[in-house]
A and B are shown apart, each in its own frame.
Chain A
Amino acid sequence: MITITHYMVLSAILFSMGTIGVLTRKNAIVVFMCVELMLNAVNLTFIALSSHLGNMDGQIFVFFIMTVAAAEAAVGLALMIAFFRNRESIDVEEFSLLKW
């Protein structure tokens, strides 16, 4: 029998892997993809709990997370193109304009 705990642990593993990726990778697009992985782990939690409790609200929330992720993808990738035009690189180490 698949319980809710199975889904929770799986999404915790996916979220932790996304965290590792965000903290260790240098390519800004890969960091972005790891953020998408973390968002998807949270989506899995939402849908698992929503279907476990028989409450539709969690799935509507996932719908809005997907909308925000799409908007974030469009704006984030536009930012990367603008940055690449200035620096010839999308290495996160180069993103140091605001560094004190």
Chain B
Amino acid sequence: MELLQLFFFYLVAFVAVVSGFCVISCKNPINSAISLVMTFFCLAIFYVMLHAPFMAAVQIMVYAGAIMVLIIFVMMLLNQGSEVIARYRHAVTGAFIAAVLMLIQVVVILKNGGVSGMVGPNTAEVVESVGHTELIGQAMFTDFLLPFEIASILLLVAIVGAVVLAKREV
């Protein structure tokens, strides 16, 4: 069972990394967008594996649904063809060096330190018996009520800002 779990993890991780690579390497932006949707689905699978089914549902609805539809919509509106991938070679090498340095940094930190933090009461058993959505709702409408309200104002500002920016004459 444990081995099967690990095998499944590596399978989904492999798909996530390959589709993430397609996002940054595909010439056509539409192909990048479709690969990004695949990455989002893989991450949703990880959220389910981490006992967070509500976050998986939100991931698929908000990211793979709303945001990707918006991006593809704008892409088709602007009607851009395939692009030239990189004009300057030093930009590509610089980016690879930056990314590899960051990866090395993370691996070194993970190797030298352990995970610590405020341990809460919500273990996997508690989440399964109470329900993940209930726990999220309880936390959001008691401890995080003010940030929740601020987020709603942020969304309102974003709606107005998007209309003002995209309209020809306000």
Partners in one complex: yes
Q: Are A54 and B83 in contact (CB under 8 A)?
A: no
Do the beta carbons of A4 and B83 come within 8 Å of each other? Answer: no
Q: What is the distance, in angstroms, from B151's C-beta to the closest C-beta of chain A? A: 5
How extensive is the interface on chain A, given as a class? 35 or more
**Contact across chains for B52 and A51 when beta carbons are under 8 A apart:** yes
Within 8 A of B (CB), among A33-77: 33-34, 36-37, 40, 43-44, 47-57, 59-60, 62-64, 66-75, 77
A13-B39 Cα distance, complex, nearest whole Å = 13
| B95 engages A19 (CB within 8 Å) | yes
Docked-complex contact A78 and B162, CB < 8 angstroms? yes
Chain B nearest CB, measured from A86 CB (Å): 11
B36 (CB) vs chain A CBs: closest residue: A33
**A39-B118 Cα distance, complex, nearest whole Å:** 23
In the assembled complex, how far is the CB of residue A62 from the closest CB belonging to chain B, in whole angstroms?
6
Residues of A within 8 A of B74 (CB): 29, 77, 80-81
Interchain CB contact under 8 A, A67 and B36: no
**Min CB–CB distance B139 → chain A (angstroms):** 5
Q: With contacts A10-B16, A55-B118, A75-B162 known, is A43 near B99, CB below 8 A?
A: no
Say whether A21 contacts B9, CB under 8 Å. Answer: no
- When C-beta atoms are compared, the residue in chain B nearest to A80 turns out to be B74
Residue of A nearest to B86 (CB): A24
Q: Which of A22, A73, A82, A90 is in CB contact (< 8 Å) with B67? A: A73
In the bound complex, CA of A68 to CA of B59 (Å):
13
A71's partner among B80, B83, B158 (CB-CB below 8 A) is: B158
Q: How far is the CA of A69 from the CA of B69 in the complex (A)?
A: 14
Measured CB to CB, the nearest residue on chain B to A81 is B166
Which chain B residues border A73 with CB–CB below 8 Å?
66-67, 70-71
Known: A60-B140, A66-B62. A40 touches B43 (CB 8 A): yes
- With a CB–CB cut-off of 8 A, which chain B residues contact A36? 36, 63, 67
B58–A63 CB distance below 8 A = yes
A63 touches B63 (CB 8 A): no
* Best-surrounded residue of A18, A20, A25, A55 (most CB of chain B within 10 A): A20
Interface flags for B65-105 (1: CB within 8 Å of A; 0: not) read 01100110011011010011111000110111011101100
Q: Which 8 A-B pairs give the minimum distances between C-beta atoms?
A: A55-B120, A23-B95, A71-B158, A21-B24, A78-B165, A12-B106, A16-B99, A78-B166
Beyond the given A81-B166, A93-B87, could you list 15 further A-B residue pairs with CB under 8 A, ordered by the A residue number? A15-B102, A24-B91, A26-B87, A30-B29, A55-B120, A56-B136, A59-B55, A59-B136, A70-B158, A73-B67, A79-B165, A81-B74, A81-B77, A82-B166, A85-B168
